[in-house]
Structure 1
Amino acid sequence: MIADDMTPEGRRIEIPARHGAAFRLNRGQRLRVIDPQGEQVSDMLAFNAHDINEVISSGRSLDYASKLFLTTGDPLYSNRSNIMLKIMEDTVGRHDFLLTPCSKDTFRIIYGDEHPHQGCFGNLAHALQPYGVTPDQIPTAFNIFMNVNIGADGSFTVDAPKSKAGDHILFEAHMDLIVALTACSALQSNNYAFKPIHYAIETVQLDAI
């Protein structure tokens, strides 16, 4: 679904509430992810377009950054310790890289749903299927705009996203990628409402990386 407005950088694409999408992002291109209405999370995955066994890694990214909350200037690493993406701009500054994509089991176990939605996990699996990615290859996502707070005792809470209408995060690709995004399906993550996510792909000079 295409959003009505256009950005100077290129066409803005809408992911409807509780849906997902996957697409190619080439080395040197930039990906802008926008929260058009505010307080909406987007789960993001990235795979090496030439070898889908190389995938975004929460553990390596957080380990190498020595912090839990990544923002402007921070790279996102693969399971092979290669930089996949770098955060170039971030108007929110709070995202999660700990929690797994919500799934049917999430809604069954946490919310007690008898007929659960397939969640971000199902949406990611469906969007990535044409690229040969299987459900078992889906790792922990970079949860854009998700606001997870850690207590002194190690407990955590999922609070309302800090993102306001129009906030964005901008990534630059350091390799050819297959990227998948969602408009998150978990009530708690999105302050108990479901809204769309927008994204746009921007082309920059390769020597700018």
Structure 2
Amino acid sequence: MSTEPETFTLPARRGRAVRLSKGEAIQIVNTHGTQVVDTWVFNAEDLTEFLSNEHMRPTLGKLWPGEGDALITNRRRPIMIMEEDTSPGRHDTLIAACDDYRYGLLGCTDYHDNCTDNLHAAMRRIGLEAPECPSPLNLWMNIPVTADGVTSWGEPLSKAGDHVVLRAQMDCIVAMSACPQDILPINGAACQPTEAHYRLLDRQA
């Protein structure tokens, strides 16, 4: 008899990391519909191999992955498959994880929660140390790009309850940050970061 997978909370402004075996999957849920989730994936056996946007874009021939696409590492291997995406499918691979320096440029004079520190804290929670902060796959982040290459800060196109399912193609570590950005409208017009949720799914039958 099958049981529903446990739902875990990704707290607003914080990070979490989990280990997946090959064939297992994670469902990441945009609970309120407006929260960007910075997402990293590392090879569990060698953390110097990780999801790399700059390697994924030429492999896929587009700016962000969609349903059925592989997430590609810096060694040009598939590390996960985006198996499901119930959102309009707008994600971002251009923008680096926010950090305290970024918030300084935005006018903050005190420390500001940020995705870079969230990554490292999430990895330490499971006894690991990320060798660097790669550019994340920014789930639900909407960065419009014009024909002449100009970018802007859009609001998410997703709705409450939208989710993606990412299935591991090798043993891997998935790290997530509920982005703390509260100055630009990437987490919605209210600029209010919220929690998201995730579930761990078994191997396919």
Q: Could you tell me how far 1:116 is from its partner in structure 2?
A: 3.1
What is residue 52 of structure 2 aligned with on the other side? Answer: 57
CA contact (8 A) 2:120 2:129 kept: no
CA contact (8 A) 1:44 1:143 kept: yes
Separation in 1 of the partners of 2:32 and 2:140?
12
Q: Aligned equivalents of 1:100 and 1:79: distance in 2?
A: 16
Deviation >2 Å, runs of 4+: none
- After the TM superposition, which residues 126-205 of structure 1 pair with which residues of structure 2 at under 5 Å, given as runs? 126-129=121-124, 130-134=127-131, 137-187=132-182, 188=184, 189-191=186-188, 192-205=191-204
Cα offsets for 1:35-84 (capped at 9, x unmatched): 11111000000111011111111011111111112110111011011100
- The DSSP-based 3-state class of the residue aligned with 2:122 is helix
Deviation of residue 163 (structure 1)? 1.2
Instruction: Please report how far the alpha carbon of residue 182 of structure 1 lies from its aligned counterpart in structure 2 after TM superposition.
Output: 1.0
Aligned mates of 2:12, 2:129 — CA distance in 1? 25
User: In structure 2, what residue type is equivalent to 1:18?
Assistant: R
Structure 2: which 5+ residue stretches go unaligned? Answer: none
What does the per-residue CA deviation read over 1:102-127, in whole Å, with 9 as the maximum and x for residues that have no partner? 11111111x21001313011111111
Partner of 1:23: 18
Preserved contact between residue 38 and residue 176 of structure 2 (Cα < 8 Å): yes
Asked whether 1:100 is paired with 2:99, we answer no
User: Equivalents in 2 of 1:112, 1:139: separation in Å?
Assistant: 24
Identity of aligned residues (%): 35
Q: How many residues align?
A: 197
Q: Helix, strand or coil for the counterpart of 1:149?
A: coil
- Cα-Cα RMSD: 1.4
Alpha-carbon distance in structure 1 between the residues aligned to 2:61 and 2:21? 28
* Aligned residue number for residue 5 of structure 1: none
